[in-house]
Copies of this chain bind each other. A is one copy, B any other.
Amino acid sequence: MATISDVASLAGVSTATVSRALNGKSTVDPELAARVLAAARELGYQPNGPARNLRRQEAAVIALIISDVENPFFTAIARGVEDVAHAVGYSVVLCNADENADKERRYVDVAIQERVAGVIMSPTPTATNVDLLINRGTPLVAVDRPLPERPSDTVLVDTRLAAREATEHLMTQGYQRIGCVTGPSGVRTADDRLAGYRDALRAARMKSSPRLVRRTEFKAAGANRAAQDLLAQPEPPDALLVANSAMAIGVLAALNEASRRPGRDVGVVAFDDVPWAELVDPPLTVVAQPAYEIGTVAAQLLLARIADNTRAATTTTLGARLIERESSHRGDLP
């Protein structure tokens, strides 16, 4: 594996010159530079990253720690981050914390040890050992959920308002007993969506009942049980607000099994616009979150903070958009 000194001796110059020629940090004689380039190419020279990072005390890498690689919402964020980061020469490494505090801890440790330039993450409720990051002054941006207790740059969606609007939309459609299936307590987005749901009920002077609300992990299986459970009650809900797309799958499956048709029998609005939302029968009404944009904004904030870590922490809140389809239309029932 060719090193910089191999290149240097082949080109007949010093390692310093090779470094300068290759990085363009300082001007070198064009003729020497050409010799260096030729030598590097001939040897197939690839700089040793660890050595470079050790000396520079920083890697041109940003770590993106997301809570679920299988959730299209997060992969869309990832694409946004990548596009911005690559444009300015940073690499992005994607880490899948899987809504698991241990894995999150582990990846944060890796990020610290590898001395990445910055971290973007959607923190778990405990957000264990992000303090380590903060104490070290590693630039950090939280996405989707704020960091509990600690200030930091944050990119959020006004999900409480969106949940309220979605619920109000269901009311407008004439649904009377609206239920909610949301994520685990402590996960900010789950809490906010529930709060927005309650905001809407309160504003309409509808009484909210715990029997209409279920909380489970953000997965299809849990939501499926929750929905079955809701529907089995004496007075089942006639509409449901569902907190993400994986859950929507579980809920729709439960409705199928119970032979209730979305829209006609039970109104459904789910968070996250997914490619298949228009294909299910009836098409699914969704709250579309600007996931890609969350990624681009987060990456820009992170780059700005890498450049200047003294800026005050900012919170950017993006809006969501209700996309009405048939799953929230009652039809012409009395």
Contacts and interface: CB of A to CB of B under 8 A. Distances in A.
Interface-centre pick from A69, A132, A279 (highest chain B CB count, 10 A)? A279
Nearest to A1: B136
Nearest to A256: B279
Contacts of A93: 93-95
Contacts of A53: 50
Contacts of A210: none
Copies in the complex: 2
B256 A275 contact: no
Given A96-B82, A113-B48, A70 B75 contact: yes
A79 B75 contact: no
Nearest to A252: B279
A72 interface: yes
Given A70-B79, A94-B69, A280-B281, A114 B49 contact: yes
The secondary-structure label for the interface of chain A is helix
B94 A48 contact: no
A99 B48 CA distance: 27
Contacts of A279: 249, 252-253, 256, 276, 280
A243 B269 CA distance: 30
Contacts of A107: 91
A93 to B, nearest CB: 4
Contact of A110 (B91, B249, B252): B91
A47 interface: yes
A225 to B, nearest CB: 16
Contacts of A94: 69, 93-96
A220 B278 CA distance: 13
Query: Which 6 pairs between the two chains have the least Cβ-Cβ distance?
Result: A281-B281, A50-B53, A93-B93, A49-B113, A94-B94, A50-B54
25 contacts: A44-B132, A44-B135, A49-B110, A49-B113, A50-B54, A50-B115, A52-B113, A69-B75, A69-B94, A70-B72, A70-B75, A70-B79, A78-B96, A91-B95, A91-B106, A91-B110, A93-B93, A94-B94, A246-B275, A249-B275, A249-B279, A253-B279, A256-B278, A274-B276, A280-B280
